[in-house]
Amino acid sequence: MMGTDLGRGKTLDDAPGVVGVTKDELGTLPDDLLDRPEAARRDPSAWFQHPDRPLEIEVGPGKGGYLVEAARARPAHNFLAIEQDPDVYYYTADRVRRLQESTGVRNARVLRGDAVAFLKWRTQDACVHTIHLYYSDPWPKRKHHKNRVLQDEFLADCWRVLRADSELRLATDHEELWAFYEVQFERWCGGTPSGFLSTPFERGPLPKLPSAPEGGLIGSNFEKKFAERGATPKGAVLRKRGDAR
């Protein structure tokens, strides 16, 4: 679920400075995890210098463009980015390290692992202020749609780990993936999914960040790259409704 081998002989202990979350901080999974899913769940805020600050989690930070700008713009929040690819993880972690050295801002960390599994098995209830999912892999072939992040189980875990009235924020410029999102929005913002007593989320527009370029929403490296090719980003905010279960 949350491996420690990063490939090329690297491990979580090799993460640069205090940026990378180490395997000791992450802890081990109990053998009876399936019987006690809450046993390994923790509040990731404990990994930060100021654990009392609101926690924001970014799923798949890419090269860290949004992460760095957000950490700089909101120094009173903590940011945890979760990246599975080892090379991208190290690139992002180094970028955060350089931000620390140049500005003294120390409110961002990076974890190498599967963000979906991390929310499910590692994150306790109602401890996250905002979850960010920007420009996720669209997995365009129909047989691969099951690999898309915004599945029912992921949305249920987002609802569980978010604090009352907190948000899941999404953006993509892939038209077919956005159509898939719209189907999920209809069910989770206008219906009652299995396991819920009422509608879990309220949908709203994703506000444009000040750092985003003309025609953009987030200002990430990926968004800038494809905006130059004429791609149009779309975004949404799903606000948790606390009385849905």
φ, ψ for residue 83 (rounded to 5)? -130, 130
Say yes or no to pLDDT of 4 above 70: no
What is the extent of the structural domain holding 198? 5-23+41-240
State the Cα–Cα distance between residues 22 and 100, nearest whole angstrom. 18
Average pLDDT, the chain: 88
Over residues 85-138, the pLDDT tens digits come to 999 999 999 999 999 999 988 999 999 999 999 999 999 999 999 999 999 999
Asked if 123 contacts 90 with a C-beta cutoff of 8 angstroms, the reply is no
Q: If residue 82 lies in a helix (H) or strand (E), which one and from where to where?
A: strand 78-83
Give the pLDDT confidence score for residue 232 in this predicted structure: 84
Say yes or no to pLDDT of 53 above 60: yes
Asked if 79 contacts 58 with a C-beta cutoff of 8 angstroms, the reply is yes
Residue 28, in any domain of the structure? no
Over residues 164-205, the pLDDT tens digits come to 989 999 999 999 999 999 999 999 999 999 999 999 999 999
Beta pairing, strands 201-205 & 162-172:
unpaired
Give the pLDDT confidence score for residue 208 in this predicted structure: 85
Give the pLDDT confidence score for residue 18 in this predicted structure: 80
* Greater pLDDT, 173 or 224: 173
State the Cα–Cα distance between residues 127 and 45, nearest whole angstrom. 8
What's the full length of the chain, in residues? Answer: 245
Active site residue 137: yes
State the Cα–Cα distance between residues 121 and 34, nearest whole angstrom. 9
DSSP secondary structure of 195-211: T-SS--EEEEEPPPPTT
- pLDDT above 70 covers a percentage of the chain that reads 89
Instruction: Return the residue matching tokens 């189907």.
Output: 183
Residue 35, in any domain of the structure? no
5, 13, 14, 137: the catalytic one is: 137
* Spatial CA neighbour of 71 closest among 44, 47, 96, 42: 96
Question: Please, how many CA atoms are within 13 Å of residue 124, restricted to the half-sphere of its CB?
Answer: 10
State the Cα–Cα distance between residues 9 and 223, nearest whole angstrom. 32
Residue 109, in any domain of the structure? yes
- pLDDT above 90 covers a percentage of the chain that reads 71
What is the CATH number for 110? 3.40.50.150
* Greater pLDDT, 243 or 34: 34
Evaluated on CA atoms 127, 134, 237, 176, the torsion sign reads negative
Residue 224, in any domain of the structure? yes
**Structural domain tally of the chain?**
1
Write the CB contacts of 225 (distance below 8 Å, at least 6 apart in sequence).
none
Which range is least confidently modeled, 20-24, 171-175, 179-183, 220-224? 220-224
Instruction: Return the residue matching tokens 């210098």.
Output: 49
The band of 14, judged by pLDDT with boundaries at 50, 70 and 90, is: very low
